[in-house]
Amino acid sequence: AQRVTQPEKLLSVFKGAPVELKCNYSYSGSPELFWYVQYSRQRLQLLLRHISRESIKGFTADLNKGETSFHLKKPFAQEEDSAMYYCALSGNAGNMLTFGGGTRLMVKP
């Protein structure tokens, strides 16, 4: 069985502070991991995927197979980063994703 855990329901930081949203997974095969974001009154959308090793809006995430983690990081948070963030894993069922419980990030001015 595959599982994604996001231990923090809420993360509150000040503008300019570093941010790390934690994600741990459980999966027996070779995982594909993603971060999705839902801004207020917008649709859930893909933020980044581990295979691309890209930086989107200043966010990066590194897959650590030893620790089974895929934490999302940004060195300097901005107020517009405030949103709900979901870590997701793609397993056997085609493109169907298993999502974590989500972390609400609040960036205070």
Partner 1 sequence: NAGVTQTPKFQVLKTGQSMTLQCAQDMNHEYMSWYRQDPGMGLRLIHYSVGAGITDQGEVPNGYNVSRSTTEDFPLRLLSAAPSQTSVYFCASSRPTRANTGELFFGEGSRLTVL
Q: Residue 28 interacts with partner 1 (CB under 8 A)? A: no
Gap between the Cα atoms of 57 and 28, Å rounded:
31
Q: What are 27's two structure tokens?
A: 């999966």
CB of 101 vs partner 1, minimal distance in Å:
4
In 3D space, the residue among 35, 82, 89 whose CA is nearest the CA of residue 61 turns out to be 35
Gap between the Cα atoms of 7 and 22, Å rounded:
7
Q: Residue 49 interacts with partner 1 (CB under 8 A)? A: yes
User: Pattern 54-83, binding to partner 1, x per CB under 8 A?
Assistant: ------------------------------
Q: Which stretch binds partner 1 (CB under 8 A): 19-27, 56-64, 68-76, 91-99?
A: 91-99
Q: Tell me which residues touch partner 1 (CB under 8 A).
A: 4, 6, 9, 32, 34, 36, 43-46, 49, 51-52, 86, 90, 93-102
